[in-house]
């Protein structure tokens, strides 16, 4: 019984292996990809069948089946990928998927940690405003107008502070969503 994949072939390279590996490395592809291209060219085939992805057995997500992907990077690029994932607080796979999806928060240069710190500070400020409004309401209910007048400046700035907070939240949420480049959005951006 033949248990091997029928598309798998072993070839004696007869001294060509070093040159083959060097060319594959230079083109940043696997030896298998380079060999398949050469064989397809020799057979006169224009296109190879698309690569098959194999499930890692870890389930699926709303975006589809989870697959394992092998990529080739230089040492420097691999270090940048790992550093970017670390600074974003994400796994390398999630970070790379976010980059592919065009999530601005991953490409803006501002770290996710910095963005969350700004949002946390804004939430704390909004919480303080909420407590002050509660105290003001209590003074007004008791008819203590002189004490309520202390909060007048805070009330004058309340609208601006709340709008600033909402703008920050909206900006952060927008930066966490993948950018969709449709013909409509591209048309709008050229106007």
Q: What is the mean pLDDT of residues 30-58?
A: 74
Supply the pTM of this predicted model: 0.45
Condensed to tens digits (0 to 9), the pLDDT of residues 122-160 reads 888 888 888 888 888 888 888 888 888 887 777 777 878
Q: Six-digit token pair at 105? A: 């928060």
The pLDDT tens digits for 22-37 are: 888 888 778 888 888 8
Contacts of residue 158, defined as CB under 8 A and 6 or more positions apart, other chains included, come to: 129, 133
| 66-77 pLDDT tens trace | 777 888 889 999
Alpha carbons within 13 angstroms on the beta-carbon side of residue 10 total: 2
Whether 98 and 106 have beta carbons less than 8 Å apart is answered as: yes
Rounded (5°) CA angle 183-186-188 = 110
């Amino acid at each position: 019984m033949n248990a091997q994949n029928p598309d798998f072939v072993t070839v004696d390279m007869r001294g060509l292996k070093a040159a083959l590996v060097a060319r594959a490395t230079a083109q940043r592809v696997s030896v298998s990809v380079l060999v398949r291209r050469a064989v397809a060219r020799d057979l006169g085939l224009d296109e190879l069948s698309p690569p098959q992805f194999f499930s890692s057995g870890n389930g699926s997500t709303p975006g589809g089946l989870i697959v394992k992907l092998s990529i080739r990077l230089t040492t420097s690029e691999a270090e940048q990928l790992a550093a970017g994932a670390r600074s974003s607080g994400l796994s390398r796979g999630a970070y790379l998927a976010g980059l592919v999806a065009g999530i601005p928060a991953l490409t803006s240069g501002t770290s996710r940690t910095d963005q969350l710190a700004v949002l946390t500070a804004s939430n704390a400020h909004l919480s303080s405003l909420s407590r002050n409004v509660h105290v003001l309401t209590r003074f007004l209910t008791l008819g203590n107008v002189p004490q309520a007048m202390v909060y007048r400046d805070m009330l004058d700035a309340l609208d601006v502070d709340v709008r600033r907070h909402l703008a920050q939240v909206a900006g952060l949420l927008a930066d966490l969503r993948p950018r969709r480049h449709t013909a409509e959005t591209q048309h709008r951006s050229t106007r």
